[in-house]
Structure 1
């Protein structure tokens, strides 16, 4: 992968890639593996982009598919891990050390796979229409699911669910 491709086509979307990868990993090592695999798959799949949707939608779909595939493989291994407090990636920021954000990610990790991605896209300020395009749902369905997910996250964070 060329440095130019990474800087021009992937780096502008690093935030959502990081959020999705982080939602599916528990260790720094796994996070780095997921992030690297997502970038590699975006590069490998670039010729398949037809322009029928936004480039960002293409990125989200690849990120989601890679993370779900790797997560399911890792889940089969059933290895318990703890997410580190510090993350040493070029694209990381202070949000990784924020206690409230850590609590939110912990709650998000307890959601179903599709619900995780849906709420991450919502937190990325994507419209219901954009989220629907990524997940092949209609905008009304997205709105209903976001509301239900928010309620579930509130219960998880308040300690009413585990």
Structure 2
């Protein structure tokens, strides 16, 4: 893939990548660092994309794997309530509402596995695509999504997991 094609691809999927960064990292600086690491990993591994899946699926896999690997390497002491992303950053547009911020904070309270499933779902991946990415059955995807929705609803309504 040529540099111009790569940059076009990044620009196309930039909103999805920013969402992943916001869900997996609480502070603006950590989000920016993760975004740069994802871009680097995509560039480094672009030869591994064989076209067997949609490019969106491949990008998502690389982004999530990078977020999880990077997180485990650093093992930061994260306190989500202490670090709310700067609303003027590139990770949230000027149309962002308080509800979006609350939702992102709720997503940050999920386990890594739950974050992965719900962000795939929110990015409009089908149950079949999610199942393929995660190596689980479509029925299991449905069950997990329903449980995550209930958990998110409890977090949003009561502030607890």
Under TM normalisation by the shorter chain, which class is it?
0.7 to 0.9
Query: Deviations along 1:78-131, whole A, 9 cap, x unmatched?
Result: 254512332432x75235x31111111111111110110111111122211122
Shift of 1:77: 3.3
Against the structure 1 CA distance between its residues 64 and 55, is the aligned structure 2 distance closer, same or farther, given a 3 Å change threshold? same
Find out whether 1:151 has 2:161 as its counterpart.
Answer: no
Q: Which runs of 4+ in 1 moved over 4 A?
A: none
- 1:79-118 equivalent positions in 2, closer than 5 A: 80=79, 82-89=83-90, 92-94=92-94, 97-118=96-117
Quote the Cα distance in structure 2 between the aligned partners of 1:87 and 1:124. 23
Aligned-partner SS, 2:50: coil
**Contact between 1:118 and 1:146, CA under 8 Å: does it hold in 2?**
yes
Find out whether 1:16 has 2:44 as its counterpart.
Answer: no
Quote the Cα distance in structure 2 between the aligned partners of 1:58 and 1:29. 25
Shift of 1:50: 1.6
Against the structure 1 CA distance between its residues 94 and 122, is the aligned structure 2 distance closer, same or farther, given a 3 Å change threshold? farther
TM-score normalised by length of structure 2: 0.88
Quote the Cα distance in structure 1 between the aligned partners of 2:33 and 2:8. 21
Uncovered stretches (5+) of structure 2, i.e. residues with no partner: none
Q: Give the corresponding residue for 1:29.
A: 29
**Contact between 2:121 and 2:130, CA under 8 Å: does it hold in 1?**
yes
TM-score normalised by length of structure 1: 0.87
Name the Cα RMSD after superposition. 2.1
